[in-house]
Amino acid sequence: MKKLFILGAAITGLTISSCTTVPLTGRSRLNLVSDSQMLPMAFQAYGEFLTENKGAVLSASNAQAQQVKRVGNNIIAAVKSYMNNNGYAELIRNYQWEVNVVQSKDLNAWCMPGGKIVVYTGILPVTKDDAGLATVMGHEIAHAIAGHSAERMSKELVSQGIGVAGNVALSKNPQTQSVFNTLYGVGTPLVMLKYGRDQELEADRLGLIFMAMAGYNPQNATSFWQRMASASQGGQKPPEFLSTHPSDATRIARIQNALPEAQKYYKSTTGKPVK
């Protein structure tokens, strides 16, 4: 019993002392995994993914690749400017931004920790234009900026009892790579993990702001998600409470509620809300 008490106290203390704040939303999140631990795994997984899908990665001269890279780089530049000018430079200091487009029917895109981004061609008919694409890429980049991956991994580590003593030695723990691969589904078509509903909605909110900072009108996000809802109706969806993603209706309603906030950043040249 005493050992269980000490174990519980250690986990509680570690959890409280390992919380960080998400930029813009101000939410406190658990973060037991440092960039020096997380990013090398992400970069390795990204490199392996590109190698395994080498024949499907579009060349830089491809028109679709050029559009995705252009929009992605615009958002990246806006995010970097905001982070560097508002006290968050350390959060992206070790990022190695990269955008690639992969030929696939999947309606998918993702951004790994450290800024490694992939967009599948299957989603481009749904994004339709630059604003739709900015909605998707802003959302995926938001997952990385908000530290959702490290947060999920931290919770997994705590649930497994790793790092209870305050020393999450990921590089020396063989279980950690297994946890990472499980969360990211490395080696499967859906590389990124399915985030929790709260994280998805937070990424929606941040994504709206990021696309607005980059000069894309966030009002266009609603129509994209409506198109996305229609495009994904082919597969039967589970009830919202059983899903890691919010329902289409919930997502669109929350996006509409967040638009006034995002609109303040639209056409801003400073990364700060337009007065």
Active site residues: 140
Provide the b/e sequence for 183-200 (b: ≥16 CB within 10 Å).
bbebeeeebbbebbbebb
Residue 39, Ramachandran bin (φ over 0: left; ψ between -120 and 50: alpha; else beta): alpha
Which tokens go with 150? Answer: 């490290």
Do 171 and 37 meet the contact criterion of CB atoms below 8 Å apart? yes
Closest among 79, 124, 120 to 100, alpha carbons compared: 120
Q: Please choose, from the candidates 84, 124, 130, the residue with its C-alpha nearest in 3D space to the C-alpha of residue 103.
A: 124
Total residue length of the chain: 275
- Of 95, 3, 99, the residue nearest 57 (C-alpha): 99
